[in-house]
Amino acid sequence: MPLAFATDDAAAIPVHVLQADQAPGFIAALPDPARAWAGHQGFTGALGQALVLPDALGGIAQVLVGYGTSQARARGRFHIGTVARQLPKGVYRIASGLTGPDLEEAALAWLLAGYQFDRYRKPAEPIAGLVAPDGIDAARVQIIAQAEALTRDLINTPASDMGPQELETAARALADAHGAAITVITADDLIAGFPLIHAVGRASPRAPRLIDMRWGDAGPTLTLVGKGVCFDTGGLNIKPGASMGLMKKDMGGAATVLGLAQMIMALGIRLRLRVLIPAVENSIAGNAFRPQDILTSRKGLTVEINNTDAEGRLVLADALALADEETPDLVISMATLTGAARVAVGPDLSPFFTDSDDHATAIASAARQVADPVWRMPFHDPYEALIEPGIADLDNAPGGGMAGSITAALFLRRFVQSPYVHFDIYGWQPSAAPSRPKGGVGMGARAVLAALPSLLKL
């Protein structure tokens, strides 16, 4: 069901959010029975505590929520999501304790706590409802939550039901919902214009394709490029079983740019949006591309294949070259591209690359505002030599194992002259956290959305 705020209700149960140092004073001012009850329950205002205070008739009079200390809150985000899942069924409103960005984060956390991926099982009971708090843009928060749910659903769907065709179907549904135009180039029609996309996807019986969606007719131009590798066996450099276990999420970049596109279109942001998704399955067959093959990209640059498991940068290269031909004001790529990025920053941060200090500052500042953590990584020019094999213009998988995320980003940068930002995301929540169940998760999209006014001078 859609993640949405409850209908405003005068009988909504008030929720008071209390930092640890505020809790004693608030409790001291309660009526004697409530004060005694809080004491018996050991409520201290610790982060994540929730105390239901009864009324005289056995109903719920109000709820106290512990917000802990600033040090405790800094160790996570979306803390109110934990509380939202604890409360009895009903409709609640945040009555005190939060303002500004904290209040908006709490509202979003409450909505996202209600997310469940129920395509293959009976849905669980919905969580308690929340009336949209005063002082936030409720419509915007709802749009963001619903777009995040789209991203999660796409990533969580197994490859048996989320191949290139199904990813195209999802993109078409999104385009239809917002009046966007969409074209798709498929199978052997890719050979002439998108040879790298075709090479990576040709071994699968599920035809590769390039999805091209456009929306908006005024304002600055933004092109989003998302890696849509719907399953990655590694190709002839086949992955070991443990590494293949999560490869349904290798289209997480595509899922994330579709979620971001939904946010932009639903909010009616005044810009001209283009979304490019190279959708493939990297499979093994007699016609699979091979190590030491040399392929020619759309841009004309030749690429020596030193590992068929470094396929994401190949399909992105052709899509980025197409994006750059229109010289948009900004190109942003999102991809579950390298294990090196996970080694560098772990699963919770979205590393991003840009040559623009202004763009980096805008994204980092916005990320802090909306609790969508990012970390800038360098386009380190001295490493350019690592992606130049000598026999071809570029090497898709330089040896040595060092700076893998950086060399992948440098590879992609060769295909873009326009202002460019690249995100090397994980797209997966490895264990449950507040408002983020284990499974697919959006990363970086909310930070980009919040940064768009600065990035594009909107």
Structure tokens at 352: 């991003």
- Judged on CB neighbours under 10 Å (0-12, 13-18, 19+), 433 is middle
- In the set 239, 272, 368, 376, the catalytic residue is 239
- In the set 249, 274, 298, 313, the catalytic residue is 313
User: Which residue has 């070259």 as its token pair?
Assistant: 321
Q: How many CB atoms lie within 10 A of CB 21?
A: 10
Residue 313 falls in the annotated catalytic set: yes
94 near 128, Cβ under 8 Å?
no
CA 271 – CA 450 distance, rounded (Å): 14
- Judged on CB neighbours under 10 Å (0-12, 13-18, 19+), 101 is middle
416 near 323, Cβ under 8 Å?
yes
Closest CA to 420 of 379, 385, 449, 372: 379
Identify each DSSP E strand in 47-147 by its residue range: 50-54, 60-68, 91-96, 129-130
Residue 299 falls in the annotated catalytic set: no
Structure tokens at 106: 């709490």
Tell me the sheet residues that pair with 232: 282
Closest CA to 148 of 444, 454, 453: 444
CA 392 – CA 40 distance, rounded (Å): 73
CA 50 – CA 191 distance, rounded (Å): 59
> Any residues with CB less than 8 A from the CB of 38 and at least 6 apart, and which?
27, 30, 51, 53, 64
Angle at 157 (CA atoms; ends 237, 159), nearest 5 degrees: 30
73 near 67, Cβ under 8 Å?
yes
Q: Which three-class secondary structure state does DSSP give residue 339?
A: helix
Closest CA to 73 of 31, 114, 101, 111: 101
CA 97 – CA 114 distance, rounded (Å): 22
Tell me 121's DSSP state. S
CA 13 – CA 176 distance, rounded (Å): 39
- First CA to last CA distance, the chain: 33
Known catalytic residues are 239, 313
